[in-house]
Amino acid sequence: MKTITFIFSALFILSNAFAQECFPIDKTQVPTIQEDVEILANDALEGRAPGTYGALKAKNYIAERLMSFGVQPMGTSGFDQMFSVPEPVKIASEGNFVTIKGDALQLNKQYFATQYSANGTVEGKTVWVNYGITAPELNYDDYKKVKSVEGKIAVIDISSPDGIHPHSEYAKYHDLGERIANVKAKGAIGVMLVNLGDLASDLKNGYKKIRSSEIPVVFVVDDTYGKKIKKSVDVSFGVNQMEQTADAFNVVGFLDNDRPTTVVIGAHYDHLGYGGSGTGSLYTGEPAIHNGADDNASGTAALIALAEYLSKGEDLKGHNYLFIAFTAEERGLLGSNYYVNNPTYPIEQMAYMINMDMVGRLREGKLHISGTGTAGQ
């Protein structure tokens, strides 16, 4: 499949100048396009994050609009192509605790579970292993002066001798999963991570995939307690967490003109929901609806407009047309990736693709076309 990414303004499509060269869509469509954007970006849809009620409402709206033009469903169930997207790992209400010298720490304030942790409970004495790094070629070994970690709870600083940055001499030893696996192999029954210097950022509290090291692992945020566990003290802690997924839906429709080749017209309809950590939002305040009018209600409205036009345009029946409204684009192109690996229409019959993203406004009054290097002839 040859792909061309075509980014343009939905309003620009309707202009006289563009109409003379390409799609002569009637300007009377402008209010309808505007209405589609307003509906998709409405607060009631709560930012269209995959797996949410707002995303379901958006999905149903797009399918209804396509169906009204006579577009045929081409999903796995009607217009729907369902797949699973990862959700933040759930921390259970029971089984999560940290006690240091008899003091109980507060979850999410003084400590939190990590993606490297297995579920379970451990107790015992701590042993400080500094960064937990052994680098023979640099003549460096944090375990050189450690008598034994067998049956103990290792305390590891998440930084390195020269910090965490791309030019660190110890860059290939930065991976915490490998450091934890190393200390587990030496006999540690659990790990408590700390960040006691100023050369590394704290771990993020929240993740969607567990990289279990087969022993419980927590991150102690509170430096007061982080310093306490550098000494051999009694601690106990438990972790109880589980991965979660949500159902997400691409919307797929087909306009059959009985031609041997098909043009794909796509746009993603998801956005960032209420924002927050891990969503890509630049907003740093309290959680708030991210409406995504331009990104990408505008592209979705343009897709709908083209579906309406192409369902009527007698002069544009040289191809069939496959319309795909993707979801989970903001999560890392999950919807489009899923479709490519699970196509509902033969890929070998696709001529090229026009993908519309953030088309609600021009940049410096210019139309931008990208991806032409992969378009072929």
Give residue-wise pLDDT tens across range 361-375: 777 777 677 776 666
> Domain boundary at 239, 270, 290, which?
239
What is the count of structural domains for the chain?
2
Do 309 and 252 share a domain, yes or no?
yes
Please tell me the distance from the alpha carbon of residue 344 to that of residue 353, in angstroms, as a whole number: 15
CB 289 within 8 A of CB 43: yes
- Position 17 confidence tier, pLDDT thresholds 50, 70, 90: very low
Please state, for a pLDDT cut of 70, what percent of the chain lies above it: 90
Please list, residue by residue across 104-114, b when 16 or more beta carbons sit within 10 angstroms of its beta carbon and e when fewer do.
ebebeebbbbb
CB 29 within 8 A of CB 69: no
Do 98 and 235 share a domain, yes or no?
yes
Do 55 and 144 share a domain, yes or no?
no
At a CB cut-off of 8 Å and minimum separation 6, what does 163 contact? 197, 199, 200
Do 262 and 360 share a domain, yes or no?
yes
Do 151 and 23 share a domain, yes or no?
no
Do 133 and 40 share a domain, yes or no?
no
What CATH number corresponds to the domain at position 147? 3.50.30.30
Please state, for a pLDDT cut of 90, what percent of the chain lies above it: 78
Do 324 and 271 share a domain, yes or no?
yes
Give residue-wise pLDDT tens across range 209-266: 999 999 999 999 999 999 999 999 999 999 999 999 999 999 999 999 999 999 999 9
Mean pLDDT of 261-280: 89
At a CB cut-off of 8 Å and minimum separation 6, what does 360 contact? 9, 10, 11, 37, 293, 294, 297, 298, 299
Tokens representing residue 229 in the block: 């566990």
Print the domain residue range for 314.
5-87+244-374
What CATH number corresponds to the domain at position 302? 3.40.630.10
> Is pLDDT at 12 greater than 50 in this prediction?
no
Do 222 and 250 share a domain, yes or no?
no
Give residue-wise pLDDT tens across range 306-354: 999 899 876 778 899 999 999 999 999 999 999 999 999 999 999 999 9
> Is pLDDT at 207 greater than 70 in this prediction?
yes
> Domain boundary at 239, 266, 287, which?
239
Do 105 and 56 share a domain, yes or no?
no
